[in-house]
Amino acid sequence: MKAPRFAYARPASLAEALALLAEHKGDARVLAGGQSLVPMMNFRLATPKVLVDINRIAALAGIKVAKNHVRIGALTRHVEIERSADVARHLPLIASAMPHIAHPAIRNRGTFGGSCALADPAAELPACALALGASFVVAGKKGERRVAAEDFFKGLYATALKSGELLVAAEFPLAKPGYASAFGELARRHGDYAMVGVAAHGSAQGKKFSDLRVVFFGVGDRPQRAAQFERALDGQPAAAKTIDAGLQKLNADLDPRADLHGSAATKLHLAKVLAGRVLRKMEGVAA
């Protein structure tokens, strides 16, 4: 199938893009890398009347290290993030997640902003944004606002973006000294969306866990922090046995639904196995 007819606009500036989105309201859809939107249109799961192609807006692309944060522009391609020395140095969690996102051809076109705005519950970047405490920079006709990752992902393919708004960037706070992160996912084939994934960030310094943010993806309708698991580990020895003892708390934190990959019980089991593996990989954790 091919997409139904649609109008196409290619603005050269953010202001122009916002004006187009305001003019066409719910009829318009932003086109970034097109790796998700175009197939959805071809399957007629999405039928926008107007596509606002943001690929010419250079100000939306790029990675910048500032005094307190790393800013990733919405239009930054996955491949650029994957190869960025700044990301490898300051955001190693994201660097380890990138090779798991789809395949090279998709990473060449797909964008950071497209992935976060789509909010697929099994996607890697939304989970990393939540684990790292990122803020999303959102622009609308009235100006810019910042939305914490906690408040950005609202549910299945749902975000805090309102009609007429555009995701401009995300800002990731620079990690405190000694903080570490670890990432892992289980997928049927490398590059597929995750059956279950874990993105973790925090401190295992001074032989104790503290300030952990453990985020699961692929097990709910959005990326999800495991609050009880985090609390069970907080202040405890940074050791494999602490992790194992805390894993039971995931029964309370997670409520996975059965999907194509397996039953709810299977997904919960996989989440526990993966969390055990991922947390053990964190720098500073004793075997």
Ligand X SMILES: Cc1cc2nc3c(=O)[nH]c(=O)nc-3n(C[C@H](O)[C@H](O)[C@H](O)COP(=O)(O)OP(=O)(O)OC[C@H]3O[C@@H](n4cnc5c(N)ncnc54)[C@H](O)[C@@H]3O)c2cc1C
Residues 6+ apart with CB under 8 A from 167: 74, 113, 116, 117, 136, 137, 138, 161
Q: 94, 101, 170, 226: which one contacts ligand X (CB under 6 A)?
A: 101
Query: Is residue 278 involved in binding ligand X (CB under 6 A)?
Result: no
Q: How many residues bind ligand X (CB under 6 A)?
A: 31
Q: How far is the CB of 183 from ligand X (least distance, A)?
A: 13
Pairing of strands 166-173, 69-73: antiparallel
Query: Is residue 200 involved in binding ligand X (CB under 6 A)?
Result: no
Q: How far is the CB of 11 from ligand X (least distance, A)?
A: 12
Residues 6+ apart with CB under 8 A from 142: none
Q: Are 136 and 85 contacting, i.e. CB atoms less than 8 angstroms apart?
A: no
Among residues 175, 178, 77, 64, which one has the least CA distance to residue 125? 77
Which of the residues 60 through 99 are near ligand X (CB under 6 A)?
74
Query: Is residue 124 involved in binding ligand X (CB under 6 A)?
Result: yes
Nearest residue (CB) to ligand X, 91 versus 117: 117
Q: Judged by CB under 6 A, which stretch of 6-14, 116-124, 197-205, 207-215 contacts ligand X? A: 116-124
- Tell me, residue by residue from 18 to 57, as one string, x for binding to ligand X by CB under 6 A and - for no binding: -----------xxxxxxxxx-x--------------x---
- Tell me, residue by residue from 145 to 164, as one string, x for binding to ligand X by CB under 6 A and - for no binding: ----------------x---
Cross-sheet strand order for the sheet of 63-65: 63-65, 69-73, 166-173, 135-140, 143-148
Nearest residue (CB) to ligand X, 125 versus 186: 125
Q: Are 174 and 71 contacting, i.e. CB atoms less than 8 angstroms apart?
A: no
- Phi, psi values for residue 265, rounded to 5°: -65, -40
Interaction site with ligand X (CB under 6 A): 29-37, 39, 54, 74, 101-102, 106, 110-111, 113-115, 117-118, 120, 123-125, 161, 166-167, 192-193
